[in-house]
Amino acid sequence: MRQSDIAVDGIRTRIEQDGDGAPLVLIHGLGGPLMWERVTSQLSKDFRVVSVHLPGFGESDCPPISLTTDQYANFLCNLLDALQIQSATLVGISYGGEVAVTFALRHPERIDKLILIASTGLEDHSILRLNFIWKIVAACAKHIVLRSEGLMCLLGRFSFYDSRSRPKDLCKKFHEQIAADGKVDVWLNALWNIFSERDEFKKKLQSLRVPTLILWGKHDRFLLPRLAEEFHRLIPNSTVNVLDACGHSVPLERAEEVCKELRSFF
């Protein structure tokens, strides 16, 4: 993949792109853009693949303010303008799925299809929005978990059905990226965005009118597979496929199946 930096909303933004087909924009979640490293080269044979490092993630600079999900969606719209892409198919994993859904509703004329992979948004996190509980969660994440490469690596095992399928350098790369100034705070802000009102997100899903593919890992420990069926029930024009022997890191653990599903969807 060819890497380059462009300015979007005044933020130096890293993008990786390759291929000449229909535009396919990959939107990562809290795991960052490393989540796509096993599918980009395969997909670029059929699509113009654009993997974006959202502000404050990967190799992109941090935004000057904490961004909401709506602001991330607007950022993506401005990114497409900068890349001269009129419309595209969005692929969002985890929190990237919430961003993609929001984009689809705010800019329906600019989206062709939607692929949601183990998307957040429907789980009930209302208790975590309580001020004192959030302070504890944020402090533990910031000062303990995200500071230690070893601890992050240990906890990250649970995002795979078989941790042996995890790229050997994934922990090291992710730790190097998140250790940059301000990036832990961006990560925590995105986590806070996930703790949104569940009923509000349900209304968003019911309002979607774009063809949507839902992919999930059958052994996802973070977002249970039953949520895939709930997404399918709420989104009018959707199909769903739950992949066996797969955890939350679907594109890393089942790269070939993900590419096959996307090609079939088109």
Output phi, psi for 236, to 5 deg: -55, -50
Q: Which two tokens stand for residue 74?
A: 């607007």
Q: Count other Cβ atoms within 10 Å, centred on residue 163.
A: 15
Q: pLDDT value at position 129?
A: 79
Q: pLDDT value at position 18?
A: 97
Q: What are the C-alpha distances in Å from 225 to residues 11, 29, 79, 148?
A: 36, 18, 32, 29
Q: pLDDT value at position 127?
A: 84
Q: What are the C-alpha distances in Å from 165 to residues 152, 170, 233, 247, 257?
A: 17, 11, 31, 11, 14
pLDDT along the chain (266 residues), means of 10: 96 97 97 97 97 98 96 98 97 98 96 98 86 92 94 94 95 95 96 86 94 98 96 97 98 97 95
Q: pLDDT value at position 196?
A: 77
Q: Count other Cβ atoms within 10 Å, centred on residue 4.
A: 9
3-state secondary structure of 142: helix
CATH tag, 2-265? 3.40.50.1820
Q: Which two tokens stand for residue 233?
A: 């029930």
pTM of the model: 0.96
Q: pLDDT value at position 248?
A: 98
